[in-house]
Amino acid sequence: MTAGHQQGRVLQQLHRLPYRVGETVMVGAIDRELDRNHSHASQVGAERFVLHGGLVPKVNHSCEPNCGIRLNSSGAHDYVARAPIAAGHEITFDYAMRNYSVEYFAARCRCGSHHCRGRITGWRDLPARRKADYDGFVAPYLIEIDDQAHTAPAARRDHRR
C-alpha cells in the first residue's frame, strides 16, 4: 500500500457526506508564505506561493480528479466538487489546477485513471483539451498567465530559449 492510499483512508473517514457538483468539499486556509515554489507549495498568485494548513496539503493528485480549486476570500484554495462524490470516497484534485509549473515530481504518476498523463505536470504542460475540461475549476491566475503568454509571444520565446 502506498502512502497515498493511507492518506486517502484518512480523508475517507473525514468525508462521510456525498457532495454534488459545485459544492465546497474543503475550505482552505493559508498557514504561511513561502519565498519560492517547492514540492509542498501551493501557488496562490502569479508570483506567490504558500503552505496551506489543515488537511488541504494531504489531498492527493489525480489526472481525473473529482475536485477542482476555487480561491476563497482569504486567498487560500477551497476544494470544490467537479463530479458527484459518494459518501466516504477519497477526494482528489489535479496539481495542474494549482501550480503553473511542476518540476519537482520526477516519479511517475500512479493515480490509475484512464486519463493519467504518466507524470504529474503543471498547468503549463496540460493539453488544451484538458484545460477546457477543467474550465471553472482552476486557480484564476493560471488563466491570467496563459493570457499574458499569448499576448507577448516574443517574450515567451525568449524565456524558453
Residues that bind Zn ion (CB under 5 A): 63, 109, 111, 116
CB of 118 to Zn ion, least distance (A): 7
Q: What span, in angstroms and rounded, lies between the C-alpha atoms of 22 and 11?
A: 19
CB of 147 vs Zn ion, minimal distance in Å: 27
CB closer to Zn ion, 11 vs 76: 11
Q: Give whichever of 50 and 138 is closer to Zn ion, judged by the CB atom.
A: 138
- The DSSP symbol for 59 reads P
In the complex, the smallest distance separating the C-beta of residue 93 from Zn ion, rounded to whole angstroms, is 12
Neighbours of 137 (CB within 10 A): 21
Residue 154 CB, nearest distance to Zn ion (Å)? 34
Q: How far is CA 60 from CA 9, 39, 54, 76, in A?
A: 11, 13, 14, 17
Query: Least distance in Å: CB of 126 to Zn ion?
Result: 12
CA distance 143 to 129: 14
Q: Strands 77-81 and 48-52: what pairing? A: unpaired
Nearer to Zn ion, 56 or 111 (CB): 111
> Which is nearer to Zn ion, 109 or 149 (by Cβ)?
109
> Looking at beta carbons only, is 44 or 111 nearer to Zn ion?
111
Residue 20 to residue 132: CA distance in whole angstroms: 21
